[in-house]
Amino acid sequence: MEIKILGTGCANCKTLEKGILIAVEDLKIDAKVEKVEDIIKIMGYGIMKTPGLVINEKVVLSGRVPSVSELKEIIAKHQ
């Protein structure tokens, strides 16, 4: 699966990236995690609050940083 973190480099975006990396490792799944920092690309996903989380090209979260356990649920749900 393909996971993208949308954010222009604010603190919350980094926290989300860290959380995602931990979640992916814990779940032992094969996922490509990518950070999107280009604002034009971010806007292409139509979010107005960063950070955003995109799984397989679908926006699943915007504007908040959930706990690692919730991130695991979200990843599992969209696998």
Partner 1 sequence: MNLNIIKSRHFQIVILLLPIWFLLYHNLLPFTDWLVFNVFGMTKGEHLTEALWFLIFEFPKVMLLLTLIIFFVGIIRTFFTPERTRKALEGKKTFTGNVMAAMLGIVTPFCSCSAIPLFLGFVEAGVPLGVTFSFLIAAPMINEVAIILLYGLFGLKVAVIYVVTGLTIAIFAGWIIGLLKLEKWVEPWVYETKVGQNGLDDSKISFETRIKMGFEAVKEIVGKVWIYVALGIAVGAGAHGYIPEDFMASLMGKSAWYSVPLSILIGIPLYSNAAGIVPIVSVLIEKGASLGTALAFMMSVIGLSLPEMVILRKVLKLPLIFTFIGVVGVGIMIVGFLFNFIF
Tell me how far apart the alpha carbons of residues 20 and 3 are, in angstroms, rounded to a whole number.
9
DSSP assignment letter at 9: S
Q: Which two tokens stand for residue 68?
A: 């690692």
Q: Which of 1, 10, 22, 43 is catalytic?
A: 10
DSSP 48: S
**Widest pairwise Cα distance in the chain:** 32
Pick the stretch among 6-14, 24-32, 71-79 that binds partner 1 (CB under 8 A): 6-14
Of residues 2, 64, 68, 69, which one binds partner 1 by CB under 8 A? 64
Q: Is 10 a catalytic residue?
A: yes
Total Cβ atoms within 10 A of residue 25: 10
Closer residue to partner 1 (CB): 1 or 39: 39
Regarding 65 and contact with partner 1 (CB under 8 A), the answer is yes
The residues binding partner 1 (CB under 8 A) are: 7-8, 10-13, 39-40, 42-50, 52, 58-66
Residue numbers annotated as active site: 10, 13
